[in-house]
Amino acid sequence: MAFLGGPRVAAQVAADPFWSVVRRRHPDVDLVLLPPAAAPEESEPEPAPTSVADASAECLARVAELWDLLVGGTVPDEQRSAWTTGPAPGLMRHEATWTLLAVDPVLATGTLERAAASLRDEGWRVLAPPDGMPRVLAGRRARSGREELDLVLVPATGRFFLTVRSGRYLLEDDR
């Protein structure tokens, strides 16, 4: 990565309608402008068409795998899943939420700490915010796109849930 400065760059900032105002109002702030990130369609191949049944089975198997890794062998009290629109027309993402009810907050907090460590070991980018509801947020590159998960404890109700969002799928029309 190269850091550019000097009169040419200062002239570019001065000519920009937004950054010139920011620079004028806050001369004590250093500005760093990064190049735009590549769009996912440019950097990743489009997924192969898959039937809804096959993709759903694959996604639910992945949720079950993550549930066992992060929560353990307990059976969830509730399970919900749906297909959501993806980042481009025709692309879909699967989202599933598995929930335990009336969980002991002390036990769940320990589960969250172990889950964060397990996910880091598996190569996930993990965020466990120190404030707000106890939770672990994680993401990593998937076969096509990005796989993301949230593991959250709602202390007031004892609700403990895992939400998993798959990478992108191109679903075949099963009509």
Which tens digit of pLDDT belongs to each residue from 7-41? 887 788 788 888 788 888 888 877 666 656 655 54
Domain with CATH 3.40.1000 in the chain: 42-171
3-state secondary structure of 83: strand
pLDDT at position 90: 78
Give me the CATH topology for the region 42-171.
Protein Transport Mog1p; Chain A (3.40.1000)
- Residue 81 has which token pair? 């899943």
What is the model's pTM?
0.72
Confidence band (pLDDT; 50, 70, 90) for 1?
Answer: very low
Cα–Cα distance measured from residue 62 to residue 107, given in angstroms and rounded to the nearest whole number:
24
